[in-house]
Amino acid sequence: MEFYPMPLFVKLSVSNMESSLCWYKEVLNFEPVFELPGKDGKTVMAHIRGKKYQDIMLISESEQNDMDSNGKGVVLNFSVEDVDLYSKKASKANAVVVEGPIDRPWNARELVLRDLDGYLITLSMGIDKEKDFDDVISQVENKL
């Protein structure tokens, strides 16, 4: 796996590292880049990756104090090639589907999932790849 400086990444506190690693792999195809074991040998921090620059740090709950705020106001958005494929994977894994797949007026097909700790994950793909930014903005403004 390629190593590179991450221009931006998110840290998420998770209540069960093993279950969270499994969920992100099974539902979203994320793979571990690096796992840091604690004194007891269990993973306390995991750097996982979907596509290039889709990096997340999972931090074990015992390493963070404020689990009450997990998921509140946080939405992770990932660009994917095929939202419907992820919808099938989510269904097979009994993942919580919040919405979709749904076609949005801003030329995106989206699927919104909730992970095991309450974080919202939006998977998004372009619908009409021929449209440029101005076309999309015009389309959205016409629907308002």
pLDDT of residue 143: 66
In order along its 144 residues, the chain shows pLDDT tens digits of 787 777 778 999 999 999 999 999 999 999 999 999 988 999 999 999 999 999 999 999 764 455 566 677 788 999 999 999 999 999 999 999 999 999 988 889 999 999 999 999 999 999 988 888 888 787 777 765
Q: What is the pLDDT of residue 59?
A: 92
Would you state the pLDDT for residue 63? 45
Specify the domain boundaries for CATH 3.30.1900.10 within the chain: 1-63
Q: Tell me, what amino acid is at 75?
A: V
Confidence (pTM): 0.76
Mention the CATH class of domain 1-63.
Answer: alpha beta
**pLDDT given for residue 109 in this prediction:** 96
Q: Are 111 and 89 in contact (CB under 8 A)?
A: no
Outline which parts of the chain fall under CATH 3.30.720.110.
71-144
Half-sphere exposure at residue 121, Cβ-oriented, CA atoms within 13 angstroms: 27
Helices 83-92 and 17-28: angle between axes, nearest 10 degrees = 140
Please tell me the class of the 71-144 domain: alpha beta
Which residues does residue 47 pair with via DSSP β-bridges, in sequence order?
A: 34, 57
Which residues does 54 contact at the CB level (< 8 Å), separation at least 6? 30, 78
